[in-house]
Chains A and B, each alone.
Chain A
């Protein structure tokens, strides 16, 4: 009979206590791996907020600042780009496509983006996934709007609902564009990106709701009705930023330099991947805190196991004496306890993995819809290392009861002192 099957049979005898220990370890492993999974996937989700876009262009400020207002809709642009400049960029020979973004309005806390239907074609996220519609279609009419999944979920909007945009980004005395209501034409599928919390309308619509506005005020006596506006020239004079796709990625740096040195206007072009990396760096300390907490939880789980093993040790002095009597060495007794704790940790680790797999499988869609988080089902390489570390730690923890049993079996002889 080998020691492993002996340990297994002994554990089965004490199954209630053993089960509790295994569950404790499983929960701590679940937490450790879960935090790691969320951390890695949140980071990946974040860094693939924009994919397939080679350059983000805006008025000259800092790369992180540009990314924050153009992509994450945090803060405001310092300046605009004129329409002529946008057309010049568009006309560059290396440029394959451009998507204009016009920001500055909002609806009940959600940002409004003026853009073109190219946005739904060229804006990619994650592993080069395009936007898709759960309901409806891209805007077609001047007063059509497309809303993100989060907007639809929070405000309970559906296709056909009428909404009124507000001038500015919200605040105590927000002026409404009440004279020109929009109709919801489509609802986007959840993406886990800021697009979920966005309302997209056409560039012309942004122009239309502002024809009778100057400097943040509606001009008295010059009101233009929603219908009459349709017949005006709605070519925008300026946009906030634009996304640029190139024919070849190799020209990224050349085009970036060309745009940064554009003579007529102070522009900034950033590679989204680089700027996203910089931005993540700013918020990266939070992940370390999470990690530290989950490591502590594992240590608590391990001490739980140790407590259980040590408590059982007294009842098992008889078992050890019998093994010694049939010729097992004190080292074998030590090995038996180390094997036991290794088995317990391994069972706990496997159970924790299964638990995480189950939770991720069940919660995947919910997390995407509610937290904008795309979690992978398969564990990452780091997780395997963490698992190995937990099991090694478990084996080392077993050395403590092992050493006690070792000492006892040398000192007690074959009599059991209870």
Chain B
């Protein structure tokens, strides 16, 4: 493989430029920069030392949103420094601690240095695989043979897994693997703990919604990182800081006081009870204040859609279009009737002999009794606090006012109620996320300046006059048509029609007992890549058994992590500073005025020659495809994925290297033959920013599609599922009470007691978990990065300790430094050191980040601290019934270690 470094070494250039006395300020600061950037191709040979030195343009690979442009200083072939690229509009020369630490990821002696095969057939987390080094040829021969053998019997016997392990899934061939290699089977180690995509799809036509803090004045965040708590340097941290400087009020509702909360107000809450509090907020808005955006309700939502007694839309008998009641002439009309003037929000009507009410009535009724006093009992948030912040929110919403952007008049609603994983990945979490968006919509604050908005490149579909949730793959009618017994695939998604990701617990259960899951074939070859369900997810014991059962497992890995312990062959992977790659620039989560419109492409190539005998994932895929005769298919899929055509597209009949494919991809993106690899090598990125007006989806929705205050689609998905299960006479493992399953599909907010809120046994506390700046998703090798670990243990306030409130600690006779054992209601236990702090709810034990790695082949520094996920479960019956995710919380009890 070609490992040559393509960065030009130019003749010596003088870069010395001394500061003059008059140059007062060069900080990348609020007062503006003035610093002299190193030129893109700057390379020089030092007069003093005779060493060659250059700065290589790259982008960061230490988190899921690889937006940040970087520069790597290479002296005599050694990377000695990384800094942010000052010309890059995302990070503007800055970095987060994870990005700043990446040299120790590149030069980590615990990396895998050559292909390995196991000699010990026994597999386990504590079993020595007896690794022996083999050649690339032997490794690839074996893998190819195994895939061929299995797929000759049934192509579905090959399964892929990925998700948030040591390395970043930045490559296109992670997503494209299943279509290239013709199997429906994939799994994700991160999926069950990432339930944050459904509501953004429904309300913003987007995968991850973004808070427009450039305009927002009042922001309520439930269990969500706003960009400062777990720092994102590409823009969220800066945007949040700018907004707080400008005077934006931040209210953080969370079991623990985050760094973001410390810049505003902290409202502590019991985990898993957010739905009760949000229902009380909606109660205050609709029943106490009776103040909402009437225009948004009548014209931008399905509030006027008529609902019959079964909960369905009342439809026109001929056109099948949903009907509304026009108060102007007291007639039922289709949503797109040109004579529709004044849709009714209240009242009861008789249409086609059916009694019906506007959806708005259903919504109001659903929160009629959910008073703040009721919610206080459940959530522990004082009723007067719920009233106060709701009133402040409504007042700050500026209902009725407008703002003009790019010549387009938008509603101006500078408020947002936002949801993150801490709240959404919990009991009724999907409903909760939708509920907070209903609150936004009731105030008109969605898709408009100051509110929660779409990410770049959202696509819009409309159906029944409603915006249809584009990124959700499986849904109602399509799902019912495709429902099959035996099941076609191991994702188990057909039992969870609202799931975004495969159901890990279901997949592992199905591997162990296919019949129980209505499957009539086994998985024979398994390729986990960038996946670590043993650490990143619950119930590792079950996962161990499933991995042990699959006859052939192989991976490509950066270090010998827990997943490699179950592999027959391990291929060594390039670190992300040794790869050729590209990645879209799309600012995420929190956007400011300088980042909302950013849209572009980052590029990188190896900053240094390969340190070990490693290859990158893309090369492996190209070779495997070639060996299996799939190159033409791969090329065609690549073209369609990147929408490449004509001059800038792959010839399906030709075999390319990944660098050649990147050249075509870059030209396809820029649409310019002169802007290929060479251009990107010099600059590191290319921007094609969005017009500002297109950053607010109101621009696309208005007059085309409404948003749901009444969730007819999810409600229908539940009914379709029930029909399918009844038709085939199927019982999903763990579903003993179908009423409890079906109630999750409620079209309006509803509260249910659950295993987190009904403490009826000895488990008297709940646990919560959050990201840290030096350790967020674990991507980019954060657990064994020596600098990041030192920071976590030395300077990070939360560290690796278990947090407890002083009131509770006193009651239990516990103190800071005590070694404790925490036992979960699901059976898992973890051990850790206690830290008494006022930053946590008295009924909650706090677990910052994630630790406690167990692979004996990783740097021992990664073994310290508790592994939080051991307290959780993906067992049958505990998987969240509508979406297949699992709760990030559990009830637990705590005791001093050594004391029974």
A and B associate in one complex: no
